[in-house]
Homo-oligomer: A and B are copies of this chain.
């Protein structure tokens, strides 16, 4: 392993894949898998898709564009980690998957329209809690945030079978982590 530095050529295919991964994974599953969480104050796969939608609307590209316009003179708008509980209300998972796919595609188009160069990755912004950040870090975080939530979906689903796997739990680190 060698850690990679951020590049658009690496990042964009991962960002493009996420909506199709979610669709391939969740679209045909019974609600028992997609609407079940890990206990109080945890999220189901359905909640996670709603959270990803809210990120497309208010986080990644809006923050990128704020940074491009104002540098670190303006802090990013704080992100609401619970918005999906209102916004997803009454919507089916298939609706959410469609919405996420459309928003992600539009945001990738916006990203490409800025024709960023590697030198832009050093441009400074300001996070309301973390303080100084740069553009490359923001975009790398967009990628890892997707992956973080894909891993979370696997864990949330897997934990439903914590007891059902019996002694095999010993070989399944997924069921022993948080």
Name A residues whose Cβ lies closer than 8 Å to a Cβ of B: 1-6, 9-10, 13-14, 16-17, 20-21, 23-26, 28-30, 32-33, 36-39, 42, 127, 130-134, 136-138, 140-141, 143-145, 147-148, 150-151, 154-155, 157-168, 170-175, 177
Q: Interface residues of A: mostly helix, strand, loop or mixed?
A: helix
Chain B residues whose C-beta falls within 8 Å of the C-beta of A6 in the assembled complex = 161, 164
- Count copies of this chain in the complex: 2
- Point out which of A30, A134, A148, A164 has the most chain B C-beta atoms below 10 A from its C-beta: A164
Q: Is the CB of A160 within 8 A of B4?
A: yes
5 A-B residue pairs with Cβ-Cβ distance under 8 Å, sorted by A, are A16-B28, A21-B21, A144-B175, A148-B173, A154-B154
Chain B min CB distance to A145 (Å) = 7
Chain B residues whose C-beta falls within 8 Å of the C-beta of A175 in the assembled complex = 144, 148
- Point out which of A24, A38, A132, A175 has the most chain B C-beta atoms below 10 A from its C-beta: A24
Q: Is the CB of A166 within 8 A of B137?
A: yes
